[in-house]
A and B are shown apart, each in its own frame.
Chain A
């Protein structure tokens, strides 16, 4: 089954994934009207800051077994088997935050949204864009990521590619080739600057 794979070394921190996620999970699904909605739509993927000011797209891993599901007292968290997706039922959620306490990845947030009962703050997290997938579309965050830091593919294929990358890197007489000289130059510079600031 295809899954969203994160290639964090490519993240440029543009936060397009966050914008696309919020728009997809709005009533009107259009940028200009989405920002005028009440409640204001919010992203379920979050870009964090690494040690060298690099970006990291943090999304729900849809763990199996899912700590959040195990922790949920009213049983509001369930697994959709067809899309292997962990979902939160906003009607059952009692906003106790046990799921956030259990989640090792910090992907839960608490707010109102247009698919929950009006006025009710509930637990919110990535839903794998299950509605889009049911229509044959790929998750919104993947669709907008121009640098392919987020891809939607069979894990085995992504890992086969990675295996080949690793294999190439240990080939005899190989010189390290660069994904992109410019991005590496920028990151090397940022790293140096930050290390200088720490001394």
Chain B
């Protein structure tokens, strides 16, 4: 295999499709990354500021050129402001996703969203009661309406704290109160971050970062958490299901439709349409043996978690899947959708459909989905995908799919353990499982695709550390065969034993990126069961290949919630050693957890193991010195 392809990705399907893309003269994200080099060091260090037109400004890291922007902001302030805005953008994205789901819940409650329904009424009642909404004597739809209304309040200005914060341990909430970073309103914190980072508002780098933590928390315990819970209510709480991953999930003899983006409000309707009798018949008439729905990125993860729908790839594969020539239609909504996809698709017969009024793309046809028309629109576009099937040119699906198991919601994990988290706690106490790590996040062309995720996961399970993962990371480990029962053979003896006993793989797929809150909920539940704070637990987080602003928000809310988090790529903070020191060391005394940056997944695993053993010692559990 050509060294160039192997240097870009460890995934075989990506390597083979990179070769095809080169033959097809298809420009990829990797090509565009190379053209961008060298990256501007000011921007990489966080030392360029474009916030006002007295600038744009940059600070000379060598100390001789300008040390302050035109307004007088120094490196610490500029770096902190830039980081704050990244968190705001990430939090806003997740929270808007949550908002759209609440809107659907509301429309469902009023009978205005044909095709949508309440799939998990028990969860609806549980979550409603957390909002102080009783279930007695009420119709399900009435509860849904009241819950939607109450959740909408969490987005606003009226409250002093978000409702679902009560799930966090008391000690954790006290820390947030003392620091004045308890999030008050989901949109409010993002708005305040944008305000604080305007020229001449918050010019204290520490308080800017604290607002960053608060904004991130308004995402983690707010927008994202609402998104996941409402998705479970509307579409069902995930249960374990067999599935498959990589480009091999595309089928030569079936209509292939790929959903890309994030919100299940679109992808669930596409799924329904793909399963409808009359459209399946139409597919047969066109010479296909069926309609094969597959996903890329988070919306694919949502379908995988709930219905075992296969995943064709993760972030860096989104262009390459088109090079198979087998994709009759790609349907997108929002987030992480590269604007190059329209022109990439034009090299093949693939039709590209955008569905969100918030997200238009060059070279895509816009068919706008709303709660009241989504079911019908889904049928329309699926019909058109079927009609595109005969237009295929050369089809190149160069690999067989890899099996995987997904669907590990917190509810599922607890069920698998027999109804309570106690068996997991016992296993951790005894040391059979040293601790648990959530590997999350994206791909990034700076890092060989999947190299960070897969190697970190392997090292951790070898160390008897249970791994849970989400997002693109989850697809990476699935592609590498880590999500089947047999993968327990790669784990250390303790974890292997537990996996065999419980019937789980050593790496558990917990969902999409908003589903990172499932990890928070699990951590909170464990902490509550042990009577500790989240920061006391032998757990850690890792984002070995992150690229997006959403990832910055997620990392920030994990650390703010007490979870030590290791990053692969360096965030744009090296321009301020003060900020670097606070995030990687000082935060320990503030929120009980820090960030750590380590691009080598093997070294990251050692750092994590060391942290976990130190937490074990701190809890009085048997530990080893690392």
Contact = CB atoms under 8 A, between A and B. Distances in A.
Is the pairing of A and B real? yes
A58 to B, nearest CB: 12
**Main DSSP-derived SS at the A contact region:** mixed
Kindly name the residue among A49, A182, A185, A192 whose own CB sees the greatest number of chain B CB atoms within 10 A.
A182
Nearest to B570: A189
A19 B65 CA distance: 19
A50 B41 CA distance: 13
A93 to B, nearest CB: 29
Contacts of B448: 196-197
Contact of B45 (A50, A53, A186): A186
A12 B42 contact: yes
A185 B580 contact: yes
A181 to B, nearest CB: 5
How many residues of B sit at the interface, in one of the four size bands? 20 to 34
A182 B62 CA distance: 9
B597 interface: yes
Given A147-B65, A182-B577, A193 B38 contact: no
A49 B38 contact: yes
Contact of A14 (B40, B447, B574, B580): B40
Contact of A49 (B7, B37, B63, B446): B37
Contacts of A193: 446-447, 568-569, 599
Interface in A149-199: 179-183, 185-186, 189-190, 192-193, 196-198
A148 B62 contact: yes
A146 B575 CA distance: 15
B39 A182 contact: no
B64 to A, nearest CB: 5
B61 interface: yes
Contacts of B27: none
Nearest to A194: B446
A179 B62 contact: yes
Give the most central of B40, B62, B577, B600: most A CB within 10 Å: B62
B205 to A, nearest CB: 14
Given A13-B39, A186-B41, A181 B600 contact: no
B394 interface: no
Given A14-B42, A146-B65, 15 more contacts: A10-B62, A12-B44, A48-B38, A49-B38, A55-B41, A146-B58, A147-B61, A182-B61, A182-B577, A183-B45, A185-B570, A185-B577, A189-B599, A193-B446, A196-B448
A196 B576 CA distance: 26
B607 to A, nearest CB: 14
A55 B45 CA distance: 14
Interface string B54-88: 00001011111110000000010000000000000
B139 to A, nearest CB: 56
A13 B38 contact: yes
B595 interface: no
Given A12-B41, A49-B38, A197 B447 contact: yes
Contacts of B44: 12, 186
A15 interface: yes
Contacts of A180: 61-63
A48 B35 CA distance: 11
B62 A186 contact: no
A24 B599 CA distance: 41
Q: Is the interface of B mostly helix, strand, loop or mixed?
A: loop
Contacts of B39: 13, 53
A84 interface: no
Contact of A196 (B37, B66, B451, B575): B451
A198 B40 CA distance: 23
B65 A14 contact: no
B38 A50 contact: yes
Contacts of B65: 146-148
A53 B569 CA distance: 14
Interface string A1-18: 000000000111111000
A34 interface: no
Q: Shortest 7 CB-CB distances between A and B: which pairs?
A: A12-B41, A13-B38, A55-B38, A146-B65, A182-B574, A186-B574, A49-B37
Q: Which of B60, B61, B75 is the most central at the interface, judged by chain A CB atoms within 10 Å of its CB?
A: B61
Interface in A45-82: 47-50, 53-56
A192 B567 CA distance: 14
B41 A148 contact: no
Contacts of B64: 147-148
A140 B619 CA distance: 62
Contact of A192 (B7, B40, B600): B600
B42 A183 contact: no
B80 to A, nearest CB: 14
A189 B40 contact: no
A61 to B, nearest CB: 21
A196 B7 CA distance: 10
Contact of A146 (B37, B60, B574): B60
A181 B45 CA distance: 11
A12 B46 CA distance: 12
B37 A183 contact: no
Interface in B463-515: none
A198 B7 contact: yes
Contacts of A50: 38
A14 B574 CA distance: 16
Contacts of B63: 180
Nearest to B65: A146
Nearest to A145: B65
30 contacts: A11-B38, A12-B41, A12-B61, A13-B39, A14-B41, A14-B42, A15-B40, A49-B37, A50-B38, A53-B39, A147-B41, A147-B61, A147-B62, A148-B62, A180-B61, A182-B45, A182-B575, A183-B41, A185-B580, A186-B41, A186-B44, A186-B570, A189-B597, A193-B447, A193-B569, A193-B599, A196-B447, A196-B448, A196-B600, A198-B7
